[in-house]
A and B are shown apart, each in its own frame.
Chain A
């Protein structure tokens, strides 16, 4: 069963709403918000083993909101969000994590951060060797290894 069918339409709406509250779009940084349709689709498609806790978090969120979060005005949403972060426990942490892990692999976001759009392997990265003369004071101080008599 796909994650899309595991969440109700209302839960999907609340997921999108809370995602946009965590990471809103920014013109200044030229990035979408986490409520962007492509990022939402990535979240839903890859929920996998997190689906149960995410569902629990969304239920908790709806409980705090007294109904769909998406239907509250901005001020009331902020109050609910604060309480959710305080009382949501592992479920809230999981919901936040799945939103962030999909957001920070989106091409537009990585581009804005100046990061390459690729997996680490096989190209890898180049690391400066550094100035090993920094070790000279350590060598000069020396030391002895403690031993049993």
Chain B
């Protein structure tokens, strides 16, 4: 049976798909979103059970390869020191993230002008400002306005408590004369828009049973669905189809029963993240687009940026917050901007980490060799458990074409769709940045009195931020989408996720991804009469 065409078809119900769906809903167009995962059930979230920590090593792993749910697709990341992590469901990876909520700085949009590297974005920070603000209201942020080294934000809720860990970090940073500030987060610190306030379940990353951590299944989606957007779950898109004029005509997808379907559409919006989006475009080859859809530049899949994380942690004598609080609480922008005397260009943001639960502490410390087998195990464990203090640097990854997503010639998902393959190396500049960060982290930890210092650099399963693989620009030879998110090659095809980032900045990108999605939706609404010109 032929389906009626929809006005707008959105692929992916995660951070950006939800935002663009909600924003476009006011047009009263027929909007359909296809999502390969389903709705989440908070009653099944790990923190509701005594085995909450063990689940993070299996069915609630951040790695789709380890998790292996039917909703997930495999990723061949053997050729990358950083492994891809994500989540596939309504809410996407906002279901499984730390809720740390910085945004790109104004300088991040002009790195070529300022530092002579990579490229400037075709838009600037000011163009996104109203959408950052709108997104913060929709997602519900908490924080303390007035950070002198961060863009001005107006979180509607107060910052998280400093806690024991935050106080130790703050004192150490003050001794060293370095910048720190309570993080903006999407953890509700008061009741907010139907969400209950945070009660410090601690295990925030693999989903929040309280609903205090913002994820788009509980923020944008209820509003979008009420406004008439249709969300079809367990629907995995295989390819985008085109006609003889090079316009997108719809998508081929597999429904919840695994049956192939065709859904026609007048406009297609991709919101599948920096790995899923190039995978879909490369899987949408045709005679007219033999190298993949929207790929006349040859840049689809190239310039993958991950943010290599340099992590260092140690153990202080005082108790820390352990697992009894959201994992992140403070940030530092002390090393965010370029200072060439450090030996590298650009910089990194820092997020401080409060601690870990007992199982995680035991497992990781045993692997690191600081928790012995045998009689001394108990004494050492009591010294470590509840005393961990951590520092993670989010290093700006500059775009390099050899870091890329391609299609694996063998690996396929459960529907037989070719899986993505990652080829990625850490650049010399990033490595110097990571080394610098570890040295500063060590100074901080030692100032706080920490011992038994350990590092993970990069964090191997740290590929949370998937950016740059369908970059934005005004030159069709050097970019995949234009300055308002429309692909240069297909005039009714848009991309709104992290793949359109030109550069990565040194902060978690979700806030900026969603602001971009809202900005693109706004641009589309302003151009409805001549959207395809």
Asked if A26 and B378 sit within 8 Å, CB to CB, the answer is yes
Chain B residues with Cβ below 8 Å from A143 are: 148-149, 179
Interface contacts (Cβ under 8 Å), in number, total: 169
Chain B residues with Cβ below 8 Å from A146 are: 105-107, 114, 337
Asked if A113 and B170 sit within 8 Å, CB to CB, the answer is no
- Name B's interface SS: loop
Chain B residues with Cβ below 8 Å from A21 are: 373-374
Asked if A119 and B52 sit within 8 Å, CB to CB, the answer is yes
Given A22-B377, A137-B174, verify A115-B200 contact (CB < 8 Å): no
User: Looking at the complex, which of A6-14, A54-62, A65-73, A101-109 is the stretch in contact with chain B?
Assistant: A101-109
- Name A's interface SS: loop
Asked if A120 and B47 sit within 8 Å, CB to CB, the answer is yes
Given A130-B167, A143-B179, A148-B109, verify A120-B363 contact (CB < 8 Å): no
Tell me whether B53 is interfacial, beta carbon within 8 Å.
yes
Cα distance A129–B50 in the bound complex, in angstroms: 27
Asked if B114 and A148 sit within 8 Å, CB to CB, the answer is yes
Asked if B202 and A125 sit within 8 Å, CB to CB, the answer is yes
Least CB distance, B63 to chain A, in whole angstroms: 13
Cα distance A144–B106 in the bound complex, in angstroms: 12
Chain B residues with Cβ below 8 Å from A29 are: 378, 382
Partner among B45, B49, B201, B358 whose Cβ is within 8 Å of the Cβ of A115: B358
Q: Which of A110-149 contact B (CB under 8 A)?
A: 110, 113, 115, 117-132, 134-135, 137-139, 141-149
Tell me whether B164 is interfacial, beta carbon within 8 Å.
yes
Least CB distance, B199 to chain A, in whole angstroms: 3
Q: Which of A1-42 contact B (CB under 8 A)?
A: 21-24, 26, 28-29, 31
Partner among A117, A129, A147 whose Cβ is within 8 Å of the Cβ of B106: A147
Tell me whether A100 is interfacial, beta carbon within 8 Å.
yes
Question: Digit string of B305-342 for contact with A (CB within 8 Å is 1, else 0)?
Answer: 00000000000000001011100000000000100000
Asked if A101 and B202 sit within 8 Å, CB to CB, the answer is no
Tell me whether B352 is interfacial, beta carbon within 8 Å.
no
Least CB distance, B98 to chain A, in whole angstroms: 16
Asked if A119 and B161 sit within 8 Å, CB to CB, the answer is no
Asked if B58 and A50 sit within 8 Å, CB to CB, the answer is yes
Least CB distance, B64 to chain A, in whole angstroms: 14
Given A49-B58, A119-B48, A120-B52, verify A100-B366 contact (CB < 8 Å): yes
Tell me whether A87 is interfacial, beta carbon within 8 Å.
no
Least CB distance, B157 to chain A, in whole angstroms: 14
Chain B residues with Cβ below 8 Å from A24 are: 374-375, 377
Chain B residues with Cβ below 8 Å from A97 are: 57, 363
Given A26-B375, A130-B162, A139-B148, verify A103-B362 contact (CB < 8 Å): yes
Chain A residues with Cβ below 8 Å from B167 are: 128, 130-131, 134
Tell me whether B171 is interfacial, beta carbon within 8 Å.
yes
Chain B residues with Cβ below 8 Å from A124 are: 198-201, 210
Chain A residues with Cβ below 8 Å from B363 are: 96-97, 100-101
Least CB distance, A114 to chain B, in whole angstroms: 9
Chain B residues with Cβ below 8 Å from A131 are: 162, 167
Partner among A96, A121, A126, A134 whose Cβ is within 8 Å of the Cβ of B47: A121
Asked if B375 and A121 sit within 8 Å, CB to CB, the answer is no
B contacts, CB < 8 Å to A: 45, 47-54, 57-59, 105-107, 109-110, 113-114, 120, 124, 144, 146, 148-151, 160-164, 166-167, 170-171, 173-174, 177, 179-182, 198-203, 209-210, 321, 323-325, 337, 358-359, 362-363, 366-367, 373-375, 377-378, 382, 385
A contacts, CB < 8 Å to B: 21-24, 26, 28-29, 31, 46, 48-50, 81, 85, 93, 96-97, 100-105, 110, 113, 115, 117-132, 134-135, 137-139, 141-149
Could you name 10 residue pairs across A and B whose Cβ atoms are closer than 8 Å? A29-B378, A46-B51, A101-B362, A113-B382, A120-B52, A120-B209, A128-B161, A135-B144, A148-B106, A148-B109
